[in-house]
Structure 1
Amino acid sequence: MNASTLNKFLKDKSKVSLLKAEIDAEVSEYKKLMEKIGSSISIYFHEDESTFLNTYGLLNLINQTINGYLKDPELNYICDCLTLAENVEFENEKIKEIVFEIADQEIWGNYKSVDELKAITKILQK
């Protein structure tokens, strides 16, 4: 995934098809490896520009997942990319914590349910 593609999506949710097309093969491999215990997972995040994740952008990602435009593994993969990137800035610590929580399903237990994602959106809107 390219940071520039992610940034376009974060600013404008209509770019979801572009983002999905770019990460499809990566997420397929990611999902298979997540099912194997003890496997190392490759993350492909080309930082062709820096990324700033604010509340609007994170809400966009989560709402696209709640509405079925993104799948749970896609959301996890994107969040994993953001946790490992060097040129990512988070609007605040709350945004960063949520991204890390979504990314690390081994610690927090599988993918987030729709109800959990809705609860996160309420936290973000406070």
Structure 2
Amino acid sequence: MRFMDKMRYSLTRFLYGRYGVDQLGRLLSIMITILLIISIFWRNMIVTAVALVLLIWMYFRVLSKNYDARRRENGWYLKVSQPIRRSFSTLYLRIRDGKSYRYFNCPNCHQRLRVPKGKGSITIKCPKCATRFDARS
């Protein structure tokens, strides 16, 4: 067995059963990268220390075997950040689709619905929950 194969096997065995990277882990890695870039140009020990603490927390989460606690943390993050992520997602869709569609949210299930512009007052039926509501496109 070659050296690289042995190393790959050892790393695979070590990481087996670990939690890995989730959405909160991705956010932490992005924040760490931004803070480290800032610390290159603006030498401040506080920025570097915050980046180091976030790096330690990120590796703790990635290498953890406590799935329940990490899922709770990620669920909390997703719940708190959901309005922000949804607004960026809607902004992306509006840019992608141009000026030919409008987006509405179902009042019952909050499903995002795309409706062609210029149809006037219409009744929209949600495909997910079959709720009907009036809107002006």
Q: TM-score, normalised by structure 1?
A: 0.22
Q: TM-score, normalised by structure 2?
A: 0.21
Q: Which has the higher contact order (CA 8 A, sep 6+)?
A: 1
Which structure shows the bigger proportion of residues in helix conformation?
1
Which structure shows the bigger proportion of residues in strand conformation?
2
